Amino acid sequence: MEVTQDLSFIHLIVNASLLVQLVMGLLLLVSMTSWWYIFLKMFSIRREIRLTSEFEESFWHNQNLTELYKHANNTAPRELGALERIFAAGFVEFIKLRKLHGVDAAAVMEGTRRAMRATYQREMDRLEAHLAFLASVGSVSPYIGLFGTVWGIMNAFRGLANVGQATLAHVAPGIAEALVATAMGLFAAIPAVLAYNRYAHEINRLSTRFESFTEEYSNVLQRQP
């Protein structure tokens, strides 16, 4: 009965050996960061999807490109969605090239597409930022936790060698405190993997939407008188 009372969660962490404590601290930090990124990405991807839908709707309902550009120009940059920026970059480049005389229509379209491509890539990079972190947390933190556990169990058994009679009461606390490290590793890893897969999928869908919009938008520009 006394043994079970010692198994409180706080005891487990406080009594663990220094290296196991370090591992737990590292895992806590990693887990904190990964959850932070998870929520950050969740918010920003949701926002991106909402803004993309809004802009697509206003683009297809309102064929006046100048008006759309004015709206994009008047909003603060941080309020703009990725798609709207791609649109604005393409529009600016198109107008500039149009004004230069002696540039044929094919070259104008080529320049416009390049400008849109550049903005698209920049936006994708922004959307995908930190996803690699989630991926590596997902794959590495179980191993970190396992390392802490193995070390803790090694210590528990080494301590056991000094005791004449080995009972469960001697081994159990050591193993339990070692296993806390694995638990923490898994706690960091599982949400990170789930979030990574989900966000990668959502960003992929967004990028498809951006690309198809770019194509359609190029057609619209080409038709401009």
The correct pick among 64, 101, 165, 223 for binding other proteins (CB under 8 A) is 165
CB atoms within 10 A of CB 36: 11
Build a one-symbol-per-residue string for 79-118: x at contacts with other proteins by CB under 8 A, - elsewhere. ----------------------------------------
141 in Cβ contact with 185 (< 8 Å): yes
- Does residue 40 interact with other proteins by CB under 8 A? yes
Dihedral over alpha carbons 75, 76, 78, 81 (to 10 degrees): 10
207 CB-side CA count, 13 A: 17
Give the whole-angstrom CA distance, residue 52 versus residue 61. Answer: 14
Residue 130 corresponds to which amino acid? H
- Does residue 43 interact with other proteins by CB under 8 A? yes
Scanning the structure block, which residue is given the tokens 């000094």?
162
- Does residue 31 interact with other proteins by CB under 8 A? yes
The correct pick among 15, 187, 200, 209 for binding other proteins (CB under 8 A) is 187
- Does residue 78 interact with other proteins by CB under 8 A? yes
The correct pick among 20, 30, 38, 221 for binding other proteins (CB under 8 A) is 38
The correct pick among 5, 63, 64, 74 for binding other proteins (CB under 8 A) is 5
188 in Cβ contact with 30 (< 8 Å): yes
CB atoms within 10 A of CB 10: 7
Distance of closest approach, residue 187 Cβ to other proteins, in angstroms: 6
Binding site for other proteins (CB under 8 A): 1, 4-5, 7-10, 12, 28, 31-32, 35-40, 42-44, 77-78, 122, 126, 129, 164-165, 167, 183, 187
